[in-house]
Structure 1
Amino acid sequence: MAGFTLEHPSTRELTGGDLLAQCLKHMGVEVAFGLHGGHLDAFLMGCESIGIKLIDTRHETVAVQAAEGYSKIRDTIGVCFVTANSGYSNGLPGLATAYADRSPILCITSSPPLRDAENNSLQGQIDQVVVARPLTKFAHRVTHAEDAPRLVSHAIRTALAGAPGPVLLDFPIDVLFSPVTERLISWGSITSPLSYAPGPHAKAVEDTLALLKAAKRPVIITGTGGRSKEAGEALMKLAKTCGIPLFHSQKYLATVPADFELLGTHAGLLGVLPLLKKEQPDLALLLGVRTGMFLGGKSGGIIPNEGCKIVHVDVDSGEIGRTLPTDLGVTSDVTQMANALNASLESGFQGSVDASWVQAALSVKSLPSPFDTAPEEQSPGRIHPYHALKKVYSSIEPGCIIINDGGECGAWSNGLAATSKPFAVMSACGYLGFLGNGFGYSLGCAIAAPDRKIINIQGDGSAGFHFMELDTYKRFNLNIMTIVVNNFCWGMSSNGQELIYGTKNPARPVSDLSPTTEYETVAKGLGNAAAKVDKIADVESTVKKLQGTPGPSCINLVVDQKPIHPVTAIMVSVTDDPDTIVVPYYDNLPRPRYKN
């Protein structure tokens, strides 16, 4: 076919696995993450022949999440492979997080021969396509090798179109190992360019400008939909033209330089404005960000419930108005909407923005922390978690990619990460609150951006999920520094129980971890440079020494369980009101009252 040249292996006949690999290569795939299984060998040999780099992990969940991390940095499709049934089942958590967080990945799996369906064959009990459908945008079993070009193209386009997300193709082993009949190949749109992103309706642009011109306290809040370099440039231009601040959700992968004069911080800090006796926004321009947990839900703490108009721009019309009443909904890609607004503002912006309010809004990012004056060491051998991570971030070099994992550990880290002037900060837990994702994300980021240092922040709870991936980091000699923020417990769980049940009740069911675990010793055994740090005076020198060491490293950073992070208190929402039922992590309920 014109534009696609089949490459025939010199030592064997062309198989379905070869054709699949060549289709991926033609669609721009350079790397695939996975774990070996004999069902996939024909595909893996095809990748080797065509020049797709294979990165093998120690667990399939990590492989899928590495593809997701890669896609976040490269802003393209991420590809992973998992073998039949057992490997596939291990990969399901990765599909779930990618689906919840709208990450475009393609998962390749295999299964027993078609003739052995419902035959109690090896690794054939679970119908992988049926199981995958609720967790993907598209899942399909390929029954003829010659259909690979058509279906690979369709799957990748589906993953990237509209609200992005994961897709899955199941290639039975006989399809992968069978010779290809070239005259029967179904090419589909494998040689066609990808579709352009959707743009805004002209009236939507006009109406948005009218709302912007009328607003005195407008704010732009962006999210993962605005993570591309082009989106960042367009957003900065829009913010500067209109003189309005630019904030982001905690899920945002920064593409705006830290020194941009109108860049705020994560939108959660807009909730501080009332405490400063400052007014809240009267217009929220939501660009590529979903309402819900990362924007304060229905609480009104971040986006006021009254007196604030909302313009919501998203590639998925179904997200508009999902949580909050919306004054104007626009189905559009962030870059296209920002470019359209910028084009309409070429002659200037005639608005009524209150410049003093803008400065007040931006000031929240530099407010002193209430923990600055707290003792740096809570008790002998236990560093205050705030001071421990503050010292970490003042010690690492600018331009790193920071991955935040864990519960309270992630909360402490999220509040401090920007001080290191990173290239990007990624909140690993996502909408599922899924701990352990950071290991796969770190791997994907390290492969996507090999010239940058990766800082993999883990709590000692989240570290337990995939710590063996430090072996993967060493095999590929990746510049990943894993920092285990070790407080000997599941911090948010233990502290949440304390908030709910009080200090007089000593019970803390299933929330303790071992104080004797030597993460630095395990890391050394896996080939990583490593150290234990339990004194604030040793943090800077240790971080700088290990960051200057080529390859992966690990720090066992021992911190105290206290104080309870404010985020935990906010999420648990404890109250003394006898008429309220506390529902941790969600909205509380009124207590029903019955009359006799």
Structure 2
Amino acid sequence: MVDLKWQMPENREINGGDLLAQVLRNLGTEIAFGLHGGHLDAFLLGAEECGIKLIDTRHETVAVQAAEGYAKVSGKVGVCFVTANSGFANGLPGLMSAFADRSPVLCITSSPPLQDAETNALQGFHDQAVVAKPMTKFAHRITNVEEIPRIAAYAYRAANSGIKGPVLLDIPIDILFSPPQMHRIAYGAASVPPAYSPAPDPAAVNRLNELWSAAKRPVIITGTGARGSGDLLVKLAEATKTPVFYSSKFSSPMPSNHELRAGPATLLAAFAGKEQPDFVLLIAARTGFLLAGRSGAIIPNDCTLAQVDVDGSEIGKSHAVQVGIAADVTLFAQAMIEKLTKASYQGNDGWIKACTSLRSNPMAYKDDPKVNEEDGQLHPYHAMEAVMRTIPKDSVIVIDGGEAGQWAAMTAELSEPHLIMVATGYLGMLGNGWGYSLGAAIADPSRLVVSIHGDGSAGFHIQELDTFARFNLRIMTVIANNYVWGMSVNGQSLLYTGVTTKRPATQLSKACRYDVVAQGFGCAGEFVTEFDHIVPTVEKLAKDGPSCINMIVSVQPTTPATSSMVGATKDKNVIVVPYYDNVPRPYYKN
């Protein structure tokens, strides 16, 4: 049983807000992100009194995203609060992203008094539990003050058990402010210990061992769900002599300097048309666009594929799988290590070297001028490489934006980072990086958080620089600014070359000075246009406090990822569908 501690407020009566705050504190909540609303005052006061630190943001979307970023870095449930209806509506993008990316987030909101239902009351038009259900694991309106501990504990466990994800509690304002009947409070359910995680079937482990040991070119690809398995993953990789890649959304828990860390899985595309992996083990890594879909560029169509995921329905979702194991990653790794003998895994030194050298191979742009000759702006690859080589080792890197994000992802391994997170996730949602960076900085204040943006994604929630300054967080925001929506304009150029010169809805303002905006919010701000100024600027701003670098880069060249995703072709019998697989024309054209 969990040892619960409850306290009575001084000089006032206990209410529903206190019950909610105290059950969350007993469950381990130390931080809650949100934006004030009078509906929530009873909870906010209770949270302050029981030791939950409140981080108030400038926008509700960022509050939910910060809770998600906190969860990803800390491994705990991220807790956030948004006020009734208007605040709730602003928080929906964060819930949607957390649901798609399986992040354990508990979102607290409120609503008008129960007696005011259907009276056109202030902030009372939408049934928030109903609206939230399709984008949460659990959404519920609590209508009995004594049941708050039971339902809140259930929601907390739902967020962090099995397939993790966001949950939402709507507690009407009158319930939060109401005193409970003490003898009726449902404390008991709040003391239920966490459920044991699912272990792998021994027969599946045996079969995987047979296939894996027979492979000549094996690779492991990890996903977000592998977080926290670092030591076991290292032992597993070393025992099987297998290089470890990671799905680009979340970097591998393998140490950045380990000889078997091979970088982002996108690098495997370099083997296309050559000798590709003959065995791929996905560890809590979902198939889909982050692993090049069904193209075969990352997961070869003829390889032996094994998949480990706590969600059995995810296994074989888009690829034929020879072994599927529904299990907790840590328990799987333990069971697999017990089964292995080093003698059965001879290893392939040439293959290991080929894989691990991918992240240090010179890029195609290494001989390009550091400044674009046409527009006089910094080459985006060289500029981002300089940033990554200069930031402190073991930093947390949060990547947002389209092409700016791709340049960052291509160079991030050069920094020997503690963690890399691509904030856009499965929804491709720009602007998440502001909240992710905030959550990461609160979860791990010992490290510098480097928040990478394009000038497009930077515009979504730049007001959070004020939040960074108010809490004096070690977040260095780097904006690769090319005055356009880079992926959009380059994608249109690939599609419409020779057809039209128009590039609709792609331009941004050259007059916008993000560095000056940062200074106005109380952060250090620097404007960088010359290559030789990048390193000293990063060195200066990386030392302490929040800062922002407005780094002017060229829109050219187009990133390889944009070119591959657009899929432009001269084949007249193919319909180009940007960012997805092309489809055949329904009728033949000469």
Name the TM-score, length of structure 1 as normaliser: 0.97
Structure 2 partner of 1:282: 278
1:482 aligns to what SS in structure 2? Answer: strand
1:363 and 2:357 equivalent?
Answer: yes
Structure 1 runs not aligned, ≥5 long: none
Superimposed CA distance per residue, residues 133-162 of structure 1 (whole angstroms, 9 cap, x where no aligned partner): 000000000011111111111111111111
Decide whether the 8 Å contact of 2:259 with 2:356 is kept in 1.
no
Decide whether the 8 Å contact of 1:137 with 1:165 is kept in 2.
yes
In structure 2, C-alpha distance between the alignment counterparts of 1:192 and 1:344, rounded to whole Å: 33
1:112 and 2:112 equivalent?
Answer: yes
Structure 2 partner of 1:383: 378
Question: Which of 238, 253, 256 is matched with 2:254 structurally?
Answer: 256
Decide whether the 8 Å contact of 2:431 with 2:461 is kept in 1.
yes
1:490 and 2:485 equivalent?
Answer: yes
- Code of the residue aligned with 2:348 in structure 1: it is D
Question: Which of 520, 523, 528 is matched with 1:525 structurally?
Answer: 520
Superimposed CA distance per residue, residues 5-60 of structure 1 (whole angstroms, 9 cap, x where no aligned partner): 32111111000000000000000000000000000000000001101000000000
- Code of the residue aligned with 2:55 in structure 1: it is I
Structure 2 partner of 1:134: 134
In structure 1, C-alpha distance between the alignment counterparts of 2:202 and 2:188, rounded to whole Å: 33
Structure 2 runs not aligned, ≥5 long: none
In structure 2, C-alpha distance between the alignment counterparts of 1:353 and 1:197, rounded to whole Å: 32
Q: 5 Å matches for 1:19-418?
A: 19-228=19-228, 231-274=229-272, 277=274, 279-306=275-302, 308-345=303-340, 347-351=341-345, 353-379=347-373, 381-418=376-413
In structure 2, C-alpha distance between the alignment counterparts of 1:482 and 1:213, rounded to whole Å: 45
Superimposed CA distance per residue, residues 39-83 of structure 1 (whole angstroms, 9 cap, x where no aligned partner): 000000000110100000000000000000000010110000000
Decide whether the 8 Å contact of 2:454 with 2:481 is kept in 1.
yes
In structure 1, C-alpha distance between the alignment counterparts of 2:175 and 2:272, rounded to whole Å: 62
2:478 aligns to what SS in structure 1? Answer: strand
Following superposition, the deviation at residue 2 of structure 1 comes to 8.5
Question: Which of 562, 566, 576 is matched with 1:572 structurally?
Answer: 566
Superimposed CA distance per residue, residues 371-414 of structure 1 (whole angstroms, 9 cap, x where no aligned partner): 11000011465100001111111111111111000000000000
Superimposed CA distance per residue, residues 319-365 of structure 1 (whole angstroms, 9 cap, x where no aligned partner): 001110111111011111111000112x4341354332222222222
In structure 2, C-alpha distance between the alignment counterparts of 1:2 and 1:589, rounded to whole Å: 56
Question: Which of 554, 558, 572 is matched with 1:560 structurally?
Answer: 554
Following superposition, the deviation at residue 213 of structure 1 comes to 1.7
Superimposed CA distance per residue, residues 475-525 of structure 1 (whole angstroms, 9 cap, x where no aligned partner): 001111111110000000010000001155211110110111111111111
Decide whether the 8 Å contact of 1:381 with 1:534 is kept in 2.
no
Decide whether the 8 Å contact of 1:214 with 1:352 is kept in 2.
no
Decide whether the 8 Å contact of 1:215 with 1:352 is kept in 2.
no
1:590 and 2:588 equivalent?
Answer: no
1:291 aligns to what SS in structure 2? Answer: coil
Decide whether the 8 Å contact of 1:381 with 1:558 is kept in 2.
no
Structure 1 partner of 2:11: 11
Distance verdict in 2 for CA 1:517–1:268, change over 3 Å:
same
Following superposition, the deviation at residue 117 of structure 1 comes to 1.2
In structure 2, C-alpha distance between the alignment counterparts of 1:360 and 1:2, rounded to whole Å: 50
In structure 1, C-alpha distance between the alignment counterparts of 2:445 and 2:347, rounded to whole Å: 42
Name the TM-score, length of structure 2 as normaliser: 0.98
Decide whether the 8 Å contact of 2:396 with 2:418 is kept in 1.
yes
Decide whether the 8 Å contact of 1:381 with 1:535 is kept in 2.
no
2:125 aligns to what SS in structure 1? Answer: coil
Aligned residues: 588
Superimposed CA distance per residue, residues 200-222 of structure 1 (whole angstroms, 9 cap, x where no aligned partner): 01111111111112211111111
Structure 1 runs of 4+ with >4 Å offset: none
- Code of the residue aligned with 1:53 in structure 2: it is K
Decide whether the 8 Å contact of 1:528 with 1:552 is kept in 2.
yes
Structure 1 partner of 2:460: 465
In structure 2, C-alpha distance between the alignment counterparts of 1:47 and 1:458, rounded to whole Å: 33
Structure 1 partner of 2:434: 439
Decide whether the 8 Å contact of 2:30 with 2:51 is kept in 1.
yes
